[in-house]
Amino acid sequence: MSDPKKVLTDLVLSTSTEHAPLDAPWDAIDIADWLLNLPDKEYQRCAPPDHKAAGYTTTDDGRPMSINVEMIGTGLVIQHYVAEIAEKHHCHMVSTSDVLTPHGWTSVQVIWDLSVKDNGDGTVTYTNQVTSHPTQEFMEFNEENGITFEQAAAARQAASGDHNRRETPLFAASIARHALARNS
């Protein structure tokens, strides 16, 4: 029997990359510290009304994990983001996320890449990239519900792209506030 949570990395469900200016000194920015200490209410302010809750925990083997609950389109997504990279200027987070859709529960893999670039002129740019891959469970779930992969991908791309456009400038502002507060 195949693993229902097996990620089908050869298929892309959605991908979205957005950029925003980040108004804080390069040396003061620490995305990992911000992300892994992000207060629940601050997370909610970063994409109202989509962001519902955030918290921090670890995996069983001690790796940092950010738990995020949010609406993406018509799906309530519970993300278990494990830090593969957790550095001051770059975090690469990977989650096998549970998704409650109008048809029931399924899962997808979500890769969240957060980074900042020093533009060399005293300004900083924040990049928020989100890529989703289906799981075997997702493919079977959609087949049972008469939804093609193309239909599911188009809906997810539209919803994820819209969500990322709205949250990216708010994340940049939140990271900047965190950096300035830590260094004041």
The mean of the pLDDT values for the chain is 96
SS3 95: strand
Phi/psi of residue 50, each to 5°?
-70, -40
CB contact set of 125 (below 8 Å; sequence gap of 6+): 19, 20, 21, 22, 116, 117, 119
Res 89: pLDDT: 98
> 107 with 98: CB under 8 angstroms?
yes
- For residue 23 the two structure tokens come to 């108004």
Residues 96 and 106 sit within 8 Å (Cβ to Cβ):
no
Instruction: Using only the alpha carbons of the chain, give its radius of gyration.
Output: 17
pLDDT of residue 183: 82
Say whether 182 sits in a helix, a strand or coil: helix
The mean pLDDT value for 130-136 works out to 97
pLDDT, residue 132, reads: 98
The domain limits of the chain are 14-182
* Domain 14-182, CATH: 3.30.530.20
Model confidence pTM above 0.85: yes
pLDDT digit string, tens, across residues 155-173: 999 999 999 999 999 999 9
- Structure-block tokens of residue 164: 């990322």
Token pair belonging to 7: 């990620």
- The confidence band for 69, taking pLDDT boundaries of 50, 70 and 90, is very high
Taking residues 138-153, what's their average pLDDT? 96
- The CB density around residue 57, as the number of other CB atoms within 10 Å, is 10
H helix intervals, the chain: 31-35, 40-45, 136-144, 149-182
Q: Is the pLDDT of residue 21 over 80?
A: yes
